[in-house]
Amino acid sequence: MKKILFIDRDGTLALEPADYQLDALTKLEFYPEVFTYLGKIVKELDYELVMVTNQDGLGTDSFPEDTFWPTQNFLIKAFENEGITFDEICIDRSFPADNAPTRKPRTGLLTAYLDEKQYNMQQSFVIGDRMTDIELAYNLNAKGIFIVNDTALATDEVTESDLSKSIALTTTSWKDIYEFLKLEQRIVIQKRTTNETDIALELNLDGTGKSQIDTGIAFFDHMLDQIARHGNMDLRLNVKGDLEVDEHHTIEDTAIVLGEAFALALGNKLGIERYGFCLPMDDCLAQATIDFGGRNWLVWEADFKREMIGKMPTEMFYHFFKSFTDGAKANLNIKAEGSNEHHKIESIFKVFSKAIKVAVKRDPDKMILPSTKGSL
């Protein structure tokens, strides 16, 4: 099925004029780097391009057609000269007060793209600088890429109260848009149910550090939050374990599922750095190096004198990381020293998350496998 980029014009392909009406060539200024990175999208990725633009009152006295078309035609020709051709151009001429079914965020001009047999809207995006573009994405069952230069634009035309889940990327840069589309999202949803545990996990390696974690063990939750926060990834995790027996199954199975989620999210591992970190925390020094190279191994040099920290047995720290490496098929080396036991394990989780952040980072210009073996 075909994937579409529905692209706004003013504020997205060209900078928004001060009076919000692009009716003269003297007002036309192309968005920075749009030719470079939209050109790379066209050459390297498999999307059709559809321009979707509201032009208030086009053809009326307030916006005569003879002031619109010279600029529009010049803009289209400029993109064509750079190898960028729009498969369709959709222009709505109505005023906001008309509530026309063809005006963004409504989909009247785009009904052909709602054919689920031909078009994959879940893998399509609306790119624009107004919340009406994001609501259009919502109405199409697509995702929005929000170019944020003025968040107040067209908010009075938005009808949905919460569009945050429809925004896949917020940026002011076409370079960011290209990298986002090129690298694809690394999101995994995992469920695992056994006689001892019931685990639901959602991991986004390219998130922003948000977490929602409930394992039933508060200190364990705190440590897992370090992975999300310092690894700059989003983690939603709900664990129902047999804590009436002990903590073992809950901690072990969580680590297994988390490791397996990393293995799935990394996929073919093209472009990743693969390795990664060392950090101090008060009296403690911790280092972690990780290699997502397909072979599981753990080297652990961290001693704990206390039996419990919070309600988490210290003997389970080693077991957590061992189970993670088994699930992720990763080689992990951890060393830590210090006198404060709480600081020691917290520094280990922080350095572990930092190592992961470095290792899973991708370079869109070097989408090669970081190995001489040909596979990982």
pLDDT at 372 over 70: no
Residue 79 pLDDT class (50, 70, 90 cuts)? very high
Residue 286 has pLDDT above 90, yes or no: yes
| Of 10, 129, 221, 225, catalytic | 10
Contacts of 329 (CB under 8 A, 6+ apart): 259, 263, 292, 293, 294, 295, 296
Average pLDDT over residues 254-265: 95
Residue pair 45/88 in contact (Cβ under 8 Å)? The answer is no
Instruction: Write the pLDDT tens digit of every residue in 351-364.
Output: 999 999 998 888 77
**Is it the case that residue 84 has pLDDT exceeding 90?**
yes
Lowest mean pLDDT among 10-14, 61-65, 241-245, 276-280: 276-280
Per-residue pLDDT band for 262 (boundaries 50, 70, 90) equals very high
289 three-state secondary structure: strand
CATH dotted code for 4-183: 3.40.50.1000
How far apart CA 104 and CA 44 sit, in angstroms, is 29
Q: Are 302 and 336 within 8 A, CB to CB? A: yes
Residue 81, SS3 per DSSP:
helix
How far is 96 from 63, CA to CA, in rounded Å?
A: 14
Residue 161 has pLDDT above 80, yes or no: no
Q: For 187-360, which CATH superfamily applies?
A: Imidazole glycerol phosphate dehydratase; domain 1 (3.30.230.40)
User: pLDDT per residue over 12-33, tens digit each?
Assistant: 999 999 999 999 999 999 999 9
8 is catalytic: yes
CATH 3.30.230.40 spans which residues of the chain?
Answer: 187-360
Q: How confident is the model at residue 186, as a pLDDT? A: 86
The answer to whether residues 10 and 20 touch, using CB atoms and an 8 Å cutoff, is yes
| CATH 3.40.50.1000 residue ranges for the chain | 4-183
Contact assessment for residue 102 and residue 112, using Cβ atoms and an 8 Å cutoff: no
172-198 pLDDT, tens per residue? 999 999 999 988 778 899 999 999 999
> Would you say 369 and 270 are in contact if contact means Cβ atoms under 8 Å apart?
yes
Averaged pLDDT of the chain: 92
Options 8, 92, 221, 291, the catalytic residue:
8
Cα separation, 7 vs 328, whole angstroms: 38
Query: What is the four-CA torsion angle of 305, 310, 311, 314, rounded to 10 degrees?
Result: -30
Kindly state the helix (H) or strand (E) to which residue 212 belongs, with its residue range: strand 211-214
Q: pLDDT value at position 47? A: 95
Question: Which pLDDT belongs to residue 159?
Answer: 73
Q: What is the pLDDT of residue 154?
A: 59
pLDDT of residue 373: 53
CB 358 within 8 A of CB 276: yes
**Catalytic residue list contains 10:** yes
Read off the pLDDT band of 274 (50, 70, 90): low
